[in-house]
Structure 1
Amino acid sequence: MSRYPEETDVVIVGSGPTGATYARIIAETRPGTSVVMLEAGPTVSAPPGAHVKNIADPDERSQAQRRSAGPDADAETVAHPGEVKAGQLRARPGTFLVGDGAAGDGDDGLPVAAQSCNVGGMAAHWTGACPRPREGERVGFLPDLDALLHEAERLLGVTSQAFEDSPFGDLIVSRLAAELDGGRAPEARVGPMPLAVHRREDGALVWAGSDVVLGDVTRADPGFRLVDESLVTRVLVEDGQAAGVEVTDRTSGTTHIIRAAHVVVAADALRTPQLLWASGIRPTALGRYLNDQTQVVFAVRLRDVVDRAGEQSAQAEPGMGLSSTSGVTWVPYTDDEPFHGQIMQLDASPVPVAEDDPVLPGSVVGLGLFCAKDLSPEDRIDFSDERTDAFGLPAPTIRYRLSEKDHRELRRARERIVRWGRAIGEPLDDSPFTLPLGSSLHYQGTTRMGLEDDGSSVCRPDSELWDVPGVFVAGNGVIPTPTACNPTLTSVALAVRGAREIARRLSGDAERGRSQTWARAPLASLTEGGSHDS
């Protein structure tokens, strides 16, 4: 039996949280709908899409991270504090660098721009931070944004109580609140970070990945199929509308066609525009308005915590290698101070900013400030029609610069993070350091949503392409605003809107007695050397 059907109702390209959102919403509202999810990378965790932090055995966890690193699967990715501070260009475990195309001539570029290639996407490796966007971060033309964010929190299993028992958490919050909360609106005050995480009955933390978004309802749906190691090379268009996809089976090298009236491209903010470009779908704003969050990091040792040593346990969570001592604290974005802050115990942080205190684990914490970008259409990804990348798709070149406003806000962020750090402890360094551009992994804007088809956006408010009906885009690239907060919650919320639109159309088709809205005309020929498994 072929791994691929000849036709389906919906094809989803990518298995990260937003692709999983489309599958989940359709499974809940239209059970039995034929949905095929295609992922270029391997399955590295169980259930498929689960966070690798949940793998108890450290060797198995490391192997899962290596298998997620695409063409650099055998490269060393573990960075040490000194390497981070020296600005060495290293990928985090579970990811691989974009490489030669990370910066155009004369540009700042995103030298550590990175991706992952595995079932679950980056959500198999992320920190799980899910703050709501505020003020200028919000998509102002969506009247239902708050309801969508609430639904995204349900799908991701977001809670602010994951570290409520950590003995140093309240101390950090209270000290920062005394420094920052004066004059802030209640919802902008310092507090625990909302996280996509829950506790097992034995007390262990379990980090959410795409597996949580899919949920049992999707996995049990007879219409849902997830196929890994399946590289989509082209979105097919007939008569100006979505007609399906062309996919290469990476286990056999064969090429297949899957016909579908609805195609969701949820690769990531770099590879989604790449696939559209390769498919000849090239709206003016495609790949433009690229934005990342410049990241400033500082480390401090908490003051006056020795007496609390007896209150905290240095024993790690069972199987998870994580001790709940100082938790994760959130400083929300405001328009006046356009930074998003998170203060994390070191073993919860993906960036090793310092060595922990072996005598009192959790007493050294890392502070991170993310800065919102000054948006420009000139910050973009260019794709080559001559050169290809390691996957055979058009080679990208990132054209990206920090503006004068960006540099000004970065200087402000460096001053603020030192002040915040001194409010809670003793700095371990004389000054903060700015991570190489691209370190946040929060790339956005390249398939941005808009209210009008005026050339400054790629898709409608329901995430369907302006130019190609039936093709939807998903992921952080859809976010049209300059954000400083972690973007996953927002991108999942936007995906909910798109998924509901597809479900509505499928319901309409059923009422009219038909499940397909496309004509069965012959498709364009397959790529040379490919075959159609019938």
Structure 2
Amino acid sequence: MVTYEVFADRIFPPASLTQMLGMEYDVLIVGSGAGGGAVLWRLCDRWRNNGMRIGMIEAGNLLLPAHAWNLAILSGGRAEKFVANPFATRYIGKTLPEFSGAKQIFALGGRTIQWAAVTPRMPLHVLARYPVPFKEMEKYYNIAEEVMKVTKPFIHNGALTEIFLNLLRANGFPEATHFPMAVDMKPTKYGEVHSNAYFSSIHFLAEAMNIRPFDLAVNARAVQVLAEHGKANGVKVMSPDKTSYVLRAKNVVLSASTFETPRLLLHSGIRGTAIGRYLIDHSAIRGTAIVKRKGFPEDLGPLDILVPETADRPYQLEMYRRGRPSIEEVAIGINGYGLVEPRAENRIILNPYRIDEYGLPVIQVNYSYTQQDLNVLREMTSAMRKAFSAIGAILVSVDGQPEIFLRPPGDDNHEAGSCRIGDDPATSAADRYGQIHGVSGLYVADNSVLPSLGTNPTLTTVALAIRTADYIVSKSQSSR
């Protein structure tokens, strides 16, 4: 299989770990996904010409130079197959019975090179559980939406979307709305061409490169966080040939994922009763139905409808079109994402009896639903049937699955919470700025910091990561 890895040194000139060895970084970022990319971009934007040293390490290599959907050669479902290759994707759920849908992507840009780009804000009743004031969340949501080119609504006047929106709003779903999407829909003006419409963390890296220099090492696996006397001072890293390097840094930002960040912290002996605990993910269901085309306009247009979670409805529904419509009918899909209450019992732990090629214990996941979680699932399933009925759709079975079926935990890529932020070290791994309790200069900026889920997590992760970067900047200024 041909990949873009062979061109990595031409697109993103990487630094070697040997070159980085002699440096002391003001900030070293572990992971290049949504959170890590956001921190890098914001630090470069705030520290334009002041000589601060910024480094980033990524366990994977360059697989794609943009979001997969921006590349015509990966259209028609080929993108998912390409990213799923063993060079980048590991289906770790195969060894995790209680979290069997889990997977990891090791590539520059992380999961954002293939994500669906759906970017709603967390509902206010969910943000009330966050230790960050509403005004600050509003500020950083605005910044995140601007830099990610979030478009609201993404679809303008699409026949199928508008017809179904009206039917849903008239039949029990008044909050139904368009998807907000991280897609650059700004029209071309004065000869300015907008390419790479779908957002990925590659945008963050590219924007950062346009602002100032930073060091980026790929194929660099973090294996240990280094700290002394309650202060982070670097990261131990291994290359593919298993050579070890110690990279020194005044501040370390872990953006390795909900699985890898607590794994690193636990393996490094970082103390914290909540590290790895309070793992959350949406309870996810999927259904498919058929709508007859008779009576609809010839040009159906795309379909993207969001029924958001509310304080009284602890789940959201996402309606979309499945495949190409036939002359007589069109297939409609709905994904349902239900609230799962954070519990300390749902956790990531290390398995000391299984060690990977880098010498780290692999993870084990303890995860289960409470009766309350199951009640949400039942309520969500009933609502999905009601939504299909509202648009005149008939449920069908696809690929041998039930008409509406439960997806395995981790299959939706929404897992979070394993290093949640909060003010109480007994129930949170990091403080409200993402700094690990009791370890100065050690931060987390990925989905693992989210204390509760009410919708797709990426926009909120980016907003909080930008806020963490600003906090690092303010701390560096006050220490001078």
Smaller-chain TM-score bracket: 0.7 to 0.9
Counterpart of 1:222, as a letter, is: R
Paired with 1:204 and 1:244, the residues of 2 have a C-alpha distance of 37
Counterpart of 1:487, as a letter, is: P
Is residue 2:117 matched to residue 1:128?
yes
For residue 414 of structure 1, give the secondary structure of its aligned residue in structure 2: helix
TM-score by length of 2: 0.87
Count of residues paired in the alignment: 448
Q: CA deviation at 1:195?
A: 0.7
Q: Which residue of 1 aligns with 2:439?
A: 468
Does structure 1 retain, via aligned residues, the 8 Å contact 2:430–2:444? yes
Q: CA deviation at 1:375?
A: 1.9
Q: 1:43 aligns with which of 62, 72, 88?
A: 62
Q: CA deviation at 1:204?
A: 8.5
Paired with 1:203 and 1:54, the residues of 2 have a C-alpha distance of 11
User: Structure 1 vs Structure 2: percent identity of aligned residues?
Assistant: 27
Q: CA deviation at 1:176?
A: 1.2
Distance change >3 Å, CA 29–CA 247, structure 1 → 2 = same
TM-score by length of 1: 0.79
Counterpart of 2:331, as a letter, is: V
Q: 1:206 aligns with which of 194, 197, 204?
A: 197
Paired with 1:273 and 1:472, the residues of 2 have a C-alpha distance of 12
1:402-446 CA distance string (max 9 Å, x none): 111111111111111010011113223274111122211111110
Q: 1:119 aligns with which of 93, 100, 108?
A: 108
Q: CA deviation at 1:307?
A: 4.1
For residue 72 of structure 2, give the secondary structure of its aligned residue in structure 1: coil
1:116-151 CA distance string (max 9 Å, x none): 111001111110111111143214431112222222
Paired with 1:59 and 1:327, the residues of 2 have a C-alpha distance of 18
Q: Which residue of 2 aligns with 1:96?
A: 90
Q: Which residue of 1 aligns with 2:470?
A: 500
Paired with 1:203 and 1:358, the residues of 2 have a C-alpha distance of 33
Q: How do residues 251-266 of structure 1 correspond to structure 2 at under 5 angstroms?
A: 252-266=241-255
Does structure 2 retain, via aligned residues, the 8 Å contact 1:449–1:461? yes
Paired with 1:485 and 1:305, the residues of 2 have a C-alpha distance of 34
Does structure 2 retain, via aligned residues, the 8 Å contact 1:160–1:192? yes
Paired with 1:360 and 1:16, the residues of 2 have a C-alpha distance of 42
Q: CA deviation at 1:36?
A: 0.9
Is residue 2:26 matched to residue 1:9?
yes
Q: Which residue of 1 aligns with 2:151?
A: 159
Superposition RMSD on alpha carbons, in Å?
2.5
Q: Which residue of 1 aligns with 2:352?
A: 385
1:204-236 CA distance string (max 9 Å, x none): 8821100233452x1123332222111111111
Quick check: 5-14 or 132-141, which moved more?
A: 132-141
Q: 1:433 aligns with which of 405, 414, 426?
A: 405
1:141-168 CA distance string (max 9 Å, x none): 3111222222221222111232214331
Q: 1:358 aligns with which of 320, 326, 329?
A: 326
Runs (5+) with no aligned partner, structure 1: 74-93, 104-108, 183-188, 313-324, 348-355, 513-534
Counterpart of 2:263, as a letter, is: Q
Does structure 2 retain, via aligned residues, the 8 Å contact 1:53–1:61? no
Q: 1:451 aligns with which of 420, 423, 433?
A: 423
Is residue 2:304 matched to residue 1:285?
no
Distance change >3 Å, CA 164–CA 391, structure 1 → 2 = farther
Distance change >3 Å, CA 343–CA 471, structure 1 → 2 = same
Does structure 1 retain, via aligned residues, the 8 Å contact 2:83–2:114? no
Paired with 1:346 and 1:204, the residues of 2 have a C-alpha distance of 26
Counterpart of 1:197, as a letter, is: V
Q: Which residue of 1 aligns with 2:164?
A: 172
For residue 273 of structure 1, give the secondary structure of its aligned residue in structure 2: helix
Q: How do residues 51-62 of structure 1 correspond to structure 2 at under 5 angstroms?
A: 51-58=67-74, 62=78
Runs (5+) with no aligned partner, structure 2: 1-14, 398-402
Q: Which residue of 1 aligns with 2:214?
A: 224
